Amino acid sequence: MSNIIIFYDIASTVPGQAFSPNTWKTRYTLNYKRIPYRTVWVEIHDVEAFCKKNGIPPTHDLTLYTLPAIYNPTTGTTIAESSRIAEYLEATYPDTPKLFPGGTHALQHAFIDAYDATLMPFYQFAIPAAFKIITPNSQHYFRTTREAFFGKTLEDLLPTGQAREEEWAKVKAAFDKVDGWVKKNEASSLYFYGTDPSFADFTVAAVLVWLKKIWGEDSPEWQDIMAWNEGRWGTLLKELEKYETIV
């Protein structure tokens, strides 16, 4: 049996397939820690059945089956959810680069919660765009589940006209707020903690990669983000590009 970790990721139509922000956190983690792995692609509409069949535990108060997930044949461990995976890999491979340096576990998890809440305004722009790169077999599932969650059709979710300008201004304000958090790190103008990337940085980069893939690099939305905050977000992605390998 191979000792290579199995990484379960969500399939899409983009080159290389990887697009989900949650699974990108785990891909960054595996690549940064130089842990050998291979990817198994799973259609979104198949996630729950696939997880149940392969013994992947539910997440979110044990009520939902989600990806990313990993299986480590060396320890026989199966685990889901990007933060839990990061904690597990940090403990299991202590001699690899650190995701949570200097006892920053609690601080980073608090940041991730705040970051997710702060960037809520962009989902109304991102979800309709994400639908366009979902595999055909999963488009119906994606549409019905997201429309049920937001209480709107994907078409109505996307703001237009004056509402679009107002809501997009909220997105910029959210990025400005996160930019202010980063600037409090006296050791680095790029990373949140110290001079090396941490799981918090991978969380931010994972969302950025997702937005770049769903909108496209030439889109006005992506061009706006690249211009904000003195080009911080493009610089961060460029610095972490070496950890974007898809295997």
Confidence at residue 63, expressed as pLDDT on a 0 to 100 scale? 78
Confidence at residue 17, expressed as pLDDT on a 0 to 100 scale? 77
| Distance in angstroms between the alpha carbons of the first and the last residue of the chain | 19
Residue 59, strand partner residues: 64
Confidence at residue 16, expressed as pLDDT on a 0 to 100 scale? 77
Beta strands per DSSP E along the chain: 5-10, 37-42, 69-72, 77-80
* Other beta carbons within 10 Å of 236: 19
Question: Given the DSSP bridges, would you call strands 69-72 and 5-10 parallel, antiparallel or unpaired?
Answer: antiparallel
CA–CA separation, 167 vs 219, rounded Å? 17
CB 191 within 8 A of CB 104: no
Confidence at residue 45, expressed as pLDDT on a 0 to 100 scale? 95
Confidence at residue 14, expressed as pLDDT on a 0 to 100 scale? 85
- pTM for the structure as a whole: 0.95
The rounded average pLDDT for each run of 10 residues, N- to C-terminus, in the chain (247 residues) is 89 83 96 97 96 92 88 96 96 97 92 93 96 94 96 97 97 96 91 94 96 95 98 97 94
Q: Which residue segments constitute the domains of the chain, with CATH numbers given?
A: 5-99 (3.40.30.10), 105-242 (1.20.1050.10)
Confidence at residue 192, expressed as pLDDT on a 0 to 100 scale? 92
Per-residue tokens: 58: 């539910």
